[in-house]
Amino acid sequence: MMDTDEAIETLPDSLPVVPELSQLMVQLLKGVLYREDDERLWASLLRLQARVREQAAVLLLDLVLDEAEGHAFLKSRPEADEAAGAPRLPRLVARRQLSYPVSLMLALLRKRMAESDAGGGDTRLVLSRDEIAELVRVFLPDGTNEARLVDQVDATISKVVDLGFLRRLKPATGSTDRGHVEVRRILKAFVDAQWLAEFDARLEVYRTALATASGAGQGGTARREPSDE
């Protein structure tokens, strides 16, 4: 009778590496996989992407892989059967309802990224809190309190960091600046060219809504579902 160890040794080398596939699926279900964050796992994704797509399809998800930008994520498939009265399955990739300040900041950051790319400079876009505050200030009601602006910008930056579109950078030792953030290039995948083309009209809507919310003493909400792009 063949020993268990012998049986393992005789397995063909061509069999897929299941642990790596499982690790990839777990990471992608958690969120975005960036090449710069894990070169080894990224290499595994490139090698096993056909298997990853098969596994994702079972869960009614599609793999979005951008080798040039170095990121990958899972996207929900259109619910084509919903109109036919089929039972609705739970979504594994949640839709997020974004507030006006968050939607505004994402639009401004995407436009700033497009300008930076057009300039042909560094592909990394790093901004200070003050620079982001200046971008937002133009679209706030006249007379907005400076302290309130700073608090709102800080709160919105934190939310955008949580969404994965900004990454905080550690200040240099002894630095007194207020901190810098890097705009992650995956923002391009969520704010597409068509959405950006309507930028001015959308910002006018945001500005009006922010002015109304400011006068009423409360914030509004806007629905933006990047996963449906």
Tell me: the pLDDT tens digits for 138-181? Answer: 877 666 788 888 888 999 999 999 988 999 998 766 665 667 99
Residue scoring higher pLDDT (88 or 181): 181
Q: Which CATH architecture has domain 4-84?
A: Orthogonal Bundle (1.10)
Residue 221 backbone dihedrals phi, psi, to 5 degrees: -135, 145
Q: Rounded to whole angstroms, what are the CA distances from 187 to 69, 103, 220?
A: 11, 12, 23
Angle at 226 between CA 223 and CA 229, to 5 degrees: 115
Q: What is the pLDDT of residue 214?
A: 63
**Residue 174, pLDDT score:** 61
Residue bearing the bigger pLDDT, 94 or 133: 133
The CA distance from 9 to 28, in Å, is: 31
pLDDT of 39-87, one tens digit each?
999 999 999 999 999 999 998 899 999 999 999 999 888 764 454 555 5
pTM as predicted: 0.68
Residue 3 in tokens? 């020993």
pLDDT of residue 76: 85
The domain ranges of the chain are 4-84, 97-228
